[in-house]
Chains A and B, each alone.
Chain A
């Protein structure tokens, strides 16, 4: 039972354009969401997060949007750069006290120069 889903295994975008990565979740009790970025042969690194009490969080070129009614979040990268090419994982924090992060399957972003 995949509680966090990233339905697009891959995405290709031209340099300078917007990249939009999507994530859906099924558990309405999730209260915190994170995006991680992973380069080949490296561990994932934290990118940006959002609490369920917000609908948007911005950090430089990266913005995460949360639509709780649709159980959907998205990561926008503007403008996209070749160095952004990586696998992006969406993760959700289970309710307080459960200590776990549930990860999606990842989306491979390729930014073409």
Chain B
């Protein structure tokens, strides 16, 4: 199993450009998440999905969009990149019963470092 795979690992964008961060998992997990990590700020939840076709906002969703057309893939879209979106982005997944306790361990990808200049 590859686990959670994120691409690209590094990217530099100009202000106003768009891009998609890819995330794929091969563990048949139903829940998937996007977090961003800013220095000294911990991990902030951007968007999450409880299954194919279902997505919901997290703590910091502005400036991002997601889709979940398959169980395996959960891409994160930045439409108009801004310097405030410079961060390290982590995708994560877990399995849980729908309406479950929410205690399942999160498995993280290695991260995607994005710089907006």
Q: Check if A43 sits within 8 Å of B102, measured CB to CB.
A: no
60-117 of chain B: CB within 8 A of chain A: 90, 92, 96, 99-103, 105-111
Known A99-B31, A105-B42; contact A43-B103, beta-carbon cutoff 8 A: no
Contact residues of B with A, CB < 8 Å? 4, 31, 33, 35, 40-45, 48, 50, 56, 58, 90, 92, 96, 99-103, 105-111
A72 to chain B, nearest CB (A): 17
Q: Which of B40, B103, B105, B111 is A42 in contact with, Cβ under 8 Å?
A: B111
B residues near A31, Cβ cutoff 8 Å: 101
A residues near B90, Cβ cutoff 8 Å: 43-44
Q: Check if B42 sits within 8 Å of A44, measured CB to CB.
A: no
Main secondary structure of the interface of A (DSSP, over half): loop
The residue in chain B whose Cβ has the minimal distance to the Cβ of A90 is: B42
Q: Check if B111 sits within 8 Å of A41, measured CB to CB.
A: yes
Q: Check if B42 sits within 8 Å of A89, measured CB to CB.
A: yes
Q: Which of A49, A102, A103 is B103 in contact with, Cβ under 8 Å?
A: A49
Contact residues of A with B, CB < 8 Å? 4, 6, 9, 31-32, 34, 36, 41-46, 49, 51, 89, 93-94, 96-106
The residue in chain A whose Cβ has the minimal distance to the Cβ of B48 is: A99
User: How far apart sit A89 and B37, CA to CA, in the bound complex (Å)?
Assistant: 12
The residue in chain A whose Cβ has the minimal distance to the Cβ of B106 is: A101
A residues near B31, Cβ cutoff 8 Å: 99
B92 to chain A, nearest CB (A): 8
What are the 7 A-B residue pairs with the smallest beta carbon separation, nearest first?
A43-B108, A105-B42, A103-B43, A46-B105, A103-B42, A32-B103, A44-B108
